Homo-oligomer: A and B are copies of this chain.
């Protein structure tokens, strides 16, 4: 087994630690006037564009388990989560600001790994790390990412713009991240007493990647722009299709009908569901963390949307009092329910 160097955080001090972690992050976007190293980052959104800002937190023991979540992937994933929120407004992500709570049990090398993942994601997605805060935490690791982006006002898409008969479109497939998590938890449980555990992931690599290293759908932003499509409403899929669709409908004062057989589910998701006696549709509806996009377009845009080649139309918008329903192949209508607040 590889023995890694272990440097205690206390050996560097808070300022030394921040210097080490943020070393080599130099701003690449012209809108980043000042990045890491002052009381605040200074940003100049492109002339005539508005600025977007969102925030997401990840807590150890709730949002990730360090037994099987490599810190490098966690660094990548928090950037994905932030970027995905900005994409969901049909805007371009440009900066992130990272806030860490770290317990002394983590060595500096672990935080190096986290930052390596952050750096990799920033480079790949063209965003700058523009600042942050690193503090002690009594308990587990806590990561909050604030993401900034920009867009011309007329291209910004809210949750509230869906209209009657609009088509409900989603990118990618759903439930894969959730099944990746279930697989990791199963192997952890099974191997908890084993000295040199060798978890069995063969055939499910895609599910692990969707959970541990999801990619935000920047390609959709480009494709929509190219086709000249501005969705009427959009949200990113993080809480499961059911909860997120209900959020969009609530903001738009409308209802929705989606069709069970149209919900895209990856082959590996179905296979693992069968193995674990789970329902893939439940994984899609309530699993969450897909980081795909759900958006609505007017019925008249059906052809244009299909031309994207990246999207499935899974249903349509109904009048307000109807509520949100899943229609089964035999015509049954099941009212959707949002997942509850996790109790710990």
Contact = CB atoms under 8 A, between A and B. Distances in A.
A52 B340 CA distance: 35
Interface in A277-317: none
Interface of A: 9-10, 12-15, 17, 33-34, 37-45, 50-57, 59-63, 85-86, 88-89, 91, 95, 97-101, 103-104, 130-133, 135-140, 142, 144, 146-149, 153, 156, 158-160, 234-236, 239, 243, 246-247, 251, 338-344
Contact of A59 (B15, B54, B136, B149): B136
Contacts of A37: 159, 251
Nearest to A342: B136
A343 B56 contact: no
Contacts of A142: 57, 59, 101, 137, 142
B341 A12 contact: yes
For the residues of A in contact with B, the DSSP-based class is: mixed
A89 B53 contact: no
20 contacts: A39-B54, A39-B86, A42-B51, A42-B52, A43-B51, A45-B45, A53-B131, A54-B131, A55-B131, A55-B132, A55-B146, A59-B135, A62-B136, A62-B138, A97-B146, A101-B142, A136-B341, A137-B142, A137-B344, A139-B140
Contact of A15 (B89, B156, B247, B343): B247
Contacts of A159: 37-39
Contact of A9 (B130, B243, B341): B341
A140 B10 CA distance: 22
